[in-house]
Amino acid sequence: MEPPAAGWSALHHGLDPAAVPLLRPWLSLIWRLARPLAALRVPPTALTAVGVVLAADAVLFAARLPWIALALVLLSALCDGLDGAVAMLSRRVSAFGSVADKTADRIADCAFAAVLWRCGAPWPLALAAGALSLAHEGIRLVLGGRRLARITVAERPTRVICAALACACAGVSPATWPPAVCAGVWAGLAVIGLAQLVVR
Protein backbone atom coordinates (compact mmCIF):
# COMPACT_ATOMS: atom_id res chain seq x y z
CA MET A 1 0.00 0.00 0.00
CA GLU A 2 1.35 3.38 -0.97
CA PRO A 3 2.06 5.81 1.86
CA PRO A 4 -0.38 8.74 1.96
CA ALA A 5 2.17 11.24 0.65
CA ALA A 6 3.03 9.12 -2.39
CA GLY A 7 -0.60 8.38 -3.17
CA TRP A 8 -1.58 12.02 -2.85
CA SER A 9 1.32 13.07 -5.08
CA ALA A 10 0.23 10.62 -7.77
CA LEU A 11 -3.25 12.18 -7.82
CA HIS A 12 -1.95 15.76 -7.79
CA HIS A 13 0.33 15.93 -10.82
CA GLY A 14 3.46 14.81 -8.96
CA LEU A 15 3.42 17.63 -6.42
CA ASP A 16 5.75 16.88 -3.50
CA PRO A 17 3.77 17.11 -0.21
CA ALA A 18 6.98 18.02 1.60
CA ALA A 19 6.98 21.30 -0.33
CA VAL A 20 3.67 22.37 1.22
CA PRO A 21 3.69 23.40 4.91
CA LEU A 22 1.52 21.22 7.18
CA LEU A 23 0.43 18.99 4.30
CA ARG A 24 2.10 15.82 5.57
CA PRO A 25 0.37 15.90 9.00
CA TRP A 26 -2.95 16.59 7.24
CA LEU A 27 -2.42 13.62 4.93
CA SER A 28 -1.54 11.37 7.86
CA LEU A 29 -4.75 12.39 9.66
CA ILE A 30 -6.84 11.86 6.52
CA TRP A 31 -5.22 8.46 5.96
CA ARG A 32 -6.13 7.31 9.48
CA LEU A 33 -9.72 8.51 9.16
CA ALA A 34 -10.08 6.96 5.72
CA ARG A 35 -9.05 3.44 6.73
CA PRO A 36 -12.30 2.48 8.52
CA LEU A 37 -14.36 4.06 5.73
CA ALA A 38 -12.48 2.04 3.13
CA ALA A 39 -12.94 -1.10 5.24
CA LEU A 40 -16.69 -0.42 5.26
CA ARG A 41 -16.54 -0.03 1.46
CA VAL A 42 -17.92 3.51 1.54
CA PRO A 43 -17.94 4.76 -2.08
CA PRO A 44 -15.50 7.67 -2.56
CA THR A 45 -18.05 9.51 -4.70
CA ALA A 46 -20.52 9.34 -1.81
CA LEU A 47 -18.05 11.31 0.31
CA THR A 48 -17.63 13.76 -2.57
CA ALA A 49 -21.40 14.27 -2.71
CA VAL A 50 -21.68 14.65 1.07
CA GLY A 51 -19.00 17.35 0.96
CA VAL A 52 -21.06 19.34 -1.55
CA VAL A 53 -24.24 18.95 0.52
CA LEU A 54 -22.44 20.11 3.66
CA ALA A 55 -21.06 23.16 1.84
CA ALA A 56 -24.53 24.05 0.58
CA ASP A 57 -26.00 23.57 4.06
CA ALA A 58 -23.36 25.95 5.44
CA VAL A 59 -24.85 28.69 3.26
CA LEU A 60 -28.28 28.05 4.75
CA PHE A 61 -27.05 28.23 8.36
CA ALA A 62 -24.44 31.00 8.05
CA ALA A 63 -26.76 33.97 8.70
CA ARG A 64 -28.53 32.70 11.82
CA LEU A 65 -26.34 29.89 13.17
CA PRO A 66 -22.79 30.70 12.08
CA TRP A 67 -21.20 28.20 14.48
CA ILE A 68 -23.11 25.39 12.78
CA ALA A 69 -22.05 26.82 9.43
CA LEU A 70 -18.44 26.78 10.65
CA ALA A 71 -18.70 23.08 11.51
CA LEU A 72 -20.28 22.36 8.13
CA VAL A 73 -17.52 24.21 6.26
CA LEU A 74 -14.85 22.21 8.10
CA LEU A 75 -16.67 18.90 7.61
CA SER A 76 -17.06 19.66 3.91
CA ALA A 77 -13.31 20.26 3.65
CA LEU A 78 -12.71 17.01 5.52
CA CYS A 79 -14.88 15.10 3.03
CA ASP A 80 -12.85 16.65 0.22
CA GLY A 81 -9.74 15.07 1.69
CA LEU A 82 -11.34 11.76 2.58
CA ASP A 83 -12.79 10.91 -0.83
CA GLY A 84 -9.40 10.67 -2.49
CA ALA A 85 -7.86 8.78 0.44
CA VAL A 86 -10.71 6.26 0.48
CA ALA A 87 -10.38 5.85 -3.28
CA MET A 88 -6.68 5.07 -2.89
CA LEU A 89 -7.14 2.67 0.01
CA SER A 90 -9.94 0.77 -1.70
CA ARG A 91 -8.20 0.92 -5.09
CA ARG A 92 -11.15 2.72 -6.65
CA VAL A 93 -9.31 5.68 -8.16
CA SER A 94 -10.97 6.54 -11.47
CA ALA A 95 -11.22 9.29 -14.07
CA PHE A 96 -14.89 9.75 -13.15
CA GLY A 97 -13.97 10.18 -9.50
CA SER A 98 -11.36 12.78 -10.41
CA VAL A 99 -13.85 14.80 -12.48
CA ALA A 100 -16.49 14.50 -9.75
CA ASP A 101 -14.00 15.71 -7.14
CA LYS A 102 -12.97 18.75 -9.18
CA THR A 103 -16.60 19.61 -9.93
CA ALA A 104 -17.51 19.25 -6.26
CA ASP A 105 -14.60 21.49 -5.28
CA ARG A 106 -15.82 24.27 -7.55
CA ILE A 107 -19.38 24.00 -6.24
CA ALA A 108 -18.08 24.07 -2.67
CA ASP A 109 -15.91 27.10 -3.47
CA CYS A 110 -19.00 28.97 -4.67
CA ALA A 111 -20.88 27.89 -1.55
CA PHE A 112 -18.06 29.12 0.69
CA ALA A 113 -18.14 32.49 -1.09
CA ALA A 114 -21.89 32.61 -0.42
CA VAL A 115 -21.16 31.83 3.24
CA LEU A 116 -19.08 35.02 3.38
CA TRP A 117 -22.08 36.99 2.11
CA ARG A 118 -24.50 35.31 4.51
CA CYS A 119 -22.14 36.12 7.38
CA GLY A 120 -22.25 39.81 6.52
CA ALA A 121 -19.75 40.49 3.75
CA PRO A 122 -21.01 42.74 0.91
CA TRP A 123 -22.38 40.53 -1.82
CA PRO A 124 -20.29 42.12 -4.62
CA LEU A 125 -17.12 41.36 -2.66
CA ALA A 126 -18.21 37.78 -1.91
CA LEU A 127 -19.17 37.33 -5.55
CA ALA A 128 -15.79 38.64 -6.66
CA ALA A 129 -14.02 36.23 -4.33
CA GLY A 130 -15.93 33.26 -5.71
CA ALA A 131 -15.53 34.35 -9.33
CA LEU A 132 -11.80 34.92 -8.95
CA SER A 133 -11.38 31.44 -7.49
CA LEU A 134 -13.27 29.92 -10.42
CA ALA A 135 -11.04 31.91 -12.77
CA HIS A 136 -7.99 30.71 -10.84
CA GLU A 137 -8.88 27.05 -11.35
CA GLY A 138 -10.08 27.57 -14.93
CA ILE A 139 -6.86 29.29 -15.99
CA ARG A 140 -4.85 26.56 -14.30
CA LEU A 141 -6.60 23.93 -16.42
CA VAL A 142 -6.24 25.95 -19.62
CA LEU A 143 -2.54 26.62 -19.12
CA GLY A 144 -1.86 23.07 -17.94
CA GLY A 145 1.66 21.71 -17.76
CA ARG A 146 3.68 22.57 -14.68
CA ARG A 147 0.99 25.01 -13.55
CA LEU A 148 -1.21 22.05 -12.61
CA ALA A 149 1.17 21.41 -9.72
CA ARG A 150 2.02 25.04 -8.97
CA ILE A 151 0.99 26.10 -5.47
CA THR A 152 -0.27 29.66 -5.09
CA VAL A 153 -1.46 31.68 -2.11
CA ALA A 154 -5.07 31.14 -3.21
CA GLU A 155 -5.58 27.38 -3.04
CA ARG A 156 -8.58 25.61 -1.51
CA PRO A 157 -7.25 25.76 2.07
CA THR A 158 -7.18 29.56 1.78
CA ARG A 159 -10.85 29.59 0.75
CA VAL A 160 -11.83 27.21 3.56
CA ILE A 161 -9.96 29.29 6.13
CA CYS A 162 -11.58 32.54 4.96
CA ALA A 163 -15.06 31.01 5.08
CA ALA A 164 -14.41 29.43 8.47
CA LEU A 165 -13.07 32.67 9.94
CA ALA A 166 -16.08 34.58 8.63
CA CYS A 167 -18.37 32.11 10.41
CA ALA A 168 -16.39 32.38 13.63
CA CYS A 169 -16.44 36.18 13.49
CA ALA A 170 -20.18 36.19 12.85
CA GLY A 171 -20.60 33.85 15.79
CA VAL A 172 -19.01 36.22 18.29
CA SER A 173 -20.10 39.59 16.91
CA PRO A 174 -22.91 41.01 14.77
CA ALA A 175 -20.44 43.38 13.12
CA THR A 176 -20.26 42.90 9.38
CA TRP A 177 -16.75 44.22 8.84
CA PRO A 178 -14.89 41.03 9.92
CA PRO A 179 -16.64 38.85 7.27
CA ALA A 180 -16.00 41.68 4.80
CA VAL A 181 -12.30 41.54 5.67
CA CYS A 182 -12.35 37.76 5.15
CA ALA A 183 -13.93 38.25 1.72
CA GLY A 184 -11.41 40.97 0.89
CA VAL A 185 -8.49 38.76 1.89
CA TRP A 186 -9.89 35.89 -0.20
CA ALA A 187 -10.34 38.16 -3.24
CA GLY A 188 -6.95 39.81 -2.80
CA LEU A 189 -5.12 36.50 -2.49
CA ALA A 190 -7.04 35.19 -5.49
CA VAL A 191 -5.69 38.06 -7.59
CA ILE A 192 -2.16 37.30 -6.40
CA GLY A 193 -2.74 33.61 -7.09
CA LEU A 194 -3.79 34.37 -10.65
CA ALA A 195 -0.59 36.32 -11.14
CA GLN A 196 1.44 33.42 -9.74
CA LEU A 197 -0.21 31.08 -12.23
CA VAL A 198 0.24 33.15 -15.37
CA VAL A 199 3.84 34.23 -14.71
CA ARG A 200 6.23 31.69 -16.13
pTM: 0.91
What is the count of structural domains for the chain? 1
**DSSP secondary structure letters along 63-123:** TT-HHHHHHHHHHHHHHHHHHHHHHHHTT---HHHHHHHHHHHHHHHHHHHHHHHHHT--H
- Residue 2, C-beta contacts closer than 8 angstroms, at least 6 positions apart: 10, 88
CATH of the domain at 122: 1.20.120.1760
Rounded to whole angstroms, how far apart are CA atoms 35 and 22?
21
Q: What are the φ/ψ torsions at residue 173 (nearest 5 degrees)? A: -155, 140
Rounded to whole angstroms, how far apart are CA atoms 95 and 78?
21
pLDDT per position as a tens digit, 47-104: 999 999 999 999 999 999 999 999 999 999 999 999 999 998 998 888 899 899 999 9
